[in-house]
Structure formats: structure tokens, C-alpha cells
């Protein structure tokens, strides 16, 4: 089945109001790539100014709390980011799984919160280098899918990003064959969990995607887009990745 490509950026804890000027060129490129969906997740403080600056671009959050409101000092709910202009959120990024000890159950709750608030979600999974070296990449990733997939998972609001932890920000990437193998395993697991909807769900690859390797990685079997960290910070690097998605 032909799935529309999704090229998503993740600014992590980077950016400023001045840096939002980069979004102008990204939005212009997105307008010239009608076959591709383009989205950028930014720090919470930049959601509203980004959404106001480039209304045609999907602006997202990098995380949300699972509750809608309450005594959770410093946290932000899906309803709050939606009110600020976010149309989606990342959940379960490996940096949060590691730094904030987020469990699969936490990630499932956060994805459910996105659905409750009426926004989309990109749910991240991925193995560590030790897990890959032990031959456990597939079982780790499919286990994360089983543990963190929310009720009502459907392609119209949820995408999965496979991001090997050892490939994020390192300049290292798996081979195209390795990416295709894991994406195939994810889709097979999704078929068990959500039946026919698995065929419609977009599976993104993330981890050191650059203008140089985007075309090859996006061409792998079962790869329906990319989640891009460092190379999403500037239009100069992100636009060629959008173009690779459109090719």
C-alpha cells in the first residue's frame, strides 16, 4: 500500500525565537512538496510563536504529560500544547526514556493523552548498542511496541519512529537492510496488535539522517518517512531531506 511520506524534525532543547526564521524556508519547501507531510517538533516555549509564524507547517511538542491537568509542577499537558498551536507531539523519545526513566507504560499514557487532546503522536522506539550487539534489536523494539502502543492506535493520528539509540546524534546509521528488517518486524507486530490498520500506519526511521543519506534510507522497504534531529535545525539541511522524501 502506498503511504504518504512524513518528514518530521525534532529540535530537542535547541532554538530560540530568532531561530524560527529557519521555518520560513522549511515551510516554503513543504509547499513545493505536496506529496509529503512535513512537521517540526520544537521546545514548548516556541510552539506558539512557531505556529503563528508558519501556520501552514505542522508544529508539534517534544513531549506531553499523560494527565490533562493537575499537581505536576513543570509538566505540560497535551491539551496545553494543543491550545498553543501544536498539532502533534513526539512521545517516548529515547532521550526521555533514558533521562527521565520513562517506561513503556508512561509512553502509552502520553500517546493516549495526545489522542484525548485531539492531536497526533509520533511514538519512538529503538534499541541500544548493547541490545543490538546481543542480537536483541528486534525483540526489544517489538516489545516496546507491545508495551507502549495506546488503545485506539490508528494511522490517522499515530506514527511510529524507529530510532536506534546508538544512531541518534552519532553520525552512525544502520544499513538499509537492517532498517528494512526492523521496520518489517514492527509492521508484523502492529498487524498482530491492530490488524489491518497496520498497513496504513507510517513507520519513520530516525538516527543521523542527513541530506547525504536521506534518499537511501527513505528508499528502504517499509520506511514511510524520517524523524530528524540535528539536520532539522536549519533549512539548509532539512530542505534536501524533504526533497528526498518527495523524490
Residues forming the active site? 93, 163
The answer to whether residues 126 and 207 touch, using CB atoms and an 8 Å cutoff, is yes
Min dist. Cβ of residue 30 to ligand PEP (A):
18
Min dist. Cβ of residue 233 to ligand PEP (A):
9
d(CA 183, CA 200): 13
Which lies closer to ligand PEP via its Cβ, residue 65 or residue 93? 93
Min dist. Cβ of residue 69 to ligand PEP (A):
28
Min dist. Cβ of residue 169 to ligand PEP (A):
4
Which residue has the CB atom at the shortest distance from ligand PEP?
A: 229
Which lies closer to ligand PEP via its Cβ, residue 51 or residue 165? 165
Q: Count Cα atoms within 13 angstroms, Cβ side, for 206.
A: 32
Would you state the cell numbers that stand for residue 167, as one nine-digit string?
544512531
d(CA 47, CA 86): 6
The answer to whether residues 88 and 81 touch, using CB atoms and an 8 Å cutoff, is no
Min dist. Cβ of residue 205 to ligand PEP (A):
9
Burial class (CB in 10 A: 0-12, 13-18, 19+), 34: exposed
Would you state the cell numbers that stand for residue 130, as one nine-digit string?
548493547
- How does 85-113 read in b/e, with b if 16+ C-beta sit within 10 Å? bbbbbbbbbbbbbeeeebebebbbbbbbb
Cell 522506539 found at: 125
Q: Count Cα atoms within 13 angstroms, Cβ side, for 46.
A: 24
Would you state the cell numbers that stand for residue 120, as one nine-digit string?
497526533
Which lies closer to ligand PEP via its Cβ, residue 220 or residue 231? 231
Which lies closer to ligand PEP via its Cβ, residue 142 or residue 173? 173
Which lies closer to ligand PEP via its Cβ, residue 11 or residue 79? 11
Q: For binding to ligand PEP (CB under 6 A), which residues are involved?
A: 10, 12, 163, 168-169, 206-209, 227-231
Amino acid at each position: 500500500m502506498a503511504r504518504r511520506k512524513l518528514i518530521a524534525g525534532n529540535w530537542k532543547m535547541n532554538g530560540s525565537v530568532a531561530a524560527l526564521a529557519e521555518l520560513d524556508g522549511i515551510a516554503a519547501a513543504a509547499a513545493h512538496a505536496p506529496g509529503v507531510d512535513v512537521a517540526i517538533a520544537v521546545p514548548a516555549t516556541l510552539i506558539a510563536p512557531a505556529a503563528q509564524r508558519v501556520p501552514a507547517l505542522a508544529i508539534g511538542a517534544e513531549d506531553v504529560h499523560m494527565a490533562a491537568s493537575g499537581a505536576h509542577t513543570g509538566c505540560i499537558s497535551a491539551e496545553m500544547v494543543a491550545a498553543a498551536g501544536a498539532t502533534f507531539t513526539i512521545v517516548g523519545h529515547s532521550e526521555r526514556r533514558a533521562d527521565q526513566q520513562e517506561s513503556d507504560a508512561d509512553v502509552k499514557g502520553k500517546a493516549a493523552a495526545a489522542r484525548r487532546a485531539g492531536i497526533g503522536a509520533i511514538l519512538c522506539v529503538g534499541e541500544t548498542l548493547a541490545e543490538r550487539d546481543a542480537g536483541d534489536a528486534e525483540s526489544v523494539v517489538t516489545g516496546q511496541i507491545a508495551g507502549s502502543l495506546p488503545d485506539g492506535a490508528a494511522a490517522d493520528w499515530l506514527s511510529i519512529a524507529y530510532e536506534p539509540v546508538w544512531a541518534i546524534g552519532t553520525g552512525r546509521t544502520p544499513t538499509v537492510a537492517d532498517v528494512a528488517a526492523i521496520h518489517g518486524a514492527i509492521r508484523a507486530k502492529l498487524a498482530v496488535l491492530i490488524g489491518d490498520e497496520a498497513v496504513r500506519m507510517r513507520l519513520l526511521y530516525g538516527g543521523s539522517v542527513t541530506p547525504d543519506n536521506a534518499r537511501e534510507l527513505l528508499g528502504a522497504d517499509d520506511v514511510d518517512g524520517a524523524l530528524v534531529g540535528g539536520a532539522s535545525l536549519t533549512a539548509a539541511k532539512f530542505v534536501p531531506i524533504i526533497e528526498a522524501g518527495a523524490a
